[in-house]
Structure 1
């Protein structure tokens, strides 16, 4: 009896948490606001064409959608690089910036085998 209760107590929560971690949709609240970029940094990045608006344009072209379908969730950037979490047509994605070039976070720009 103890083994049965232990098994149920251990397996059931594991299965429940495993199901919750597989989210392929962005569930944003209706009052969600995109993070505001740092003005000084954005003005410097504007000279090389690497602002958040440029990122939205890049993603919209890459996924053949409107810019309004791209929602920026999280931003971490410096002058030379940046990491971005975005929601594109309801699907969460991550992008990075190296210099003025935007690419998906899992892409390697030096991989010539593709």
Structure 2
């Protein structure tokens, strides 16, 4: 009986957290959602290398074969040398990063040559 209770007490929280992580990838925005505003100084500096927020928006739209207006930013965290961006693309949350002036998905490794 103790083994049964121990097994149930371990399995139920695992199933609960597994379901929570699947729901995190969907983004539902209200009609009056306001995108976060990027820092104007950093955007002015990034304009020299074509690495602004609008360039990232074009990159995401081209990569996913959608319209530019379908890309909505949820979070923007950036510095001159790097940045992390979270965007809602057709109801699905996607994370991107910037290293210098290069954009890529957050889970990609630019130094992985075994592709």
TM-score (norm 2): 0.83
Find the aligned partners of 1:36 and 1:52 in 2 and give their Cα distance.
10
Task: Name the structure 1 match of 2:33.
Answer: 32
Find the aligned partners of 1:111 and 1:16 in 2 and give their Cα distance.
34
Find the aligned partners of 2:29 and 2:100 in 1 and give their Cα distance.
30
Please state which structure has a larger fraction of its residues in helix. Answer: 2
Q: Deviations over 1:70-89 (max 9, x none)?
A: 11100110001000011111
Q: Are 2:63 and 1:62 equivalent residues in the alignment?
A: yes
Task: Name the structure 1 match of 2:45.
Answer: 44
Task: Name the structure 1 match of 2:83.
Answer: 82
Structure 2: runs of 5 or more not aligned? 1-6
SS at match of 2:32: coil
Aligned length: 114
Task: Name the structure 2 match of 1:73.
Answer: 74
Find the aligned partners of 2:53 and 2:10 in 1 and give their Cα distance.
45
SS at match of 2:22: coil
Find the aligned partners of 1:94 and 1:30 in 2 and give their Cα distance.
22
Deviation at 1:20, TM superposition (A): 3.6
- Following TM superposition, the consecutive aligned residue runs of length 4 or more in structure 1 with deviations greater than 3 angstroms are 7-18
Q: CA RMSD in A?
A: 2.2
Find the aligned partners of 1:85 and 1:42 in 2 and give their Cα distance.
17
Structure 1: runs of 5 or more not aligned? 1-6
SS at match of 2:49: coil
**Compared with structure 1, are the counterparts of its residues 107 and 14 closer, same or farther at alpha carbon in structure 2 (3 Å cutoff)?**
closer
Deviation at 1:9, TM superposition (A): 8.9
Q: Are 2:22 and 1:22 equivalent residues in the alignment?
A: yes
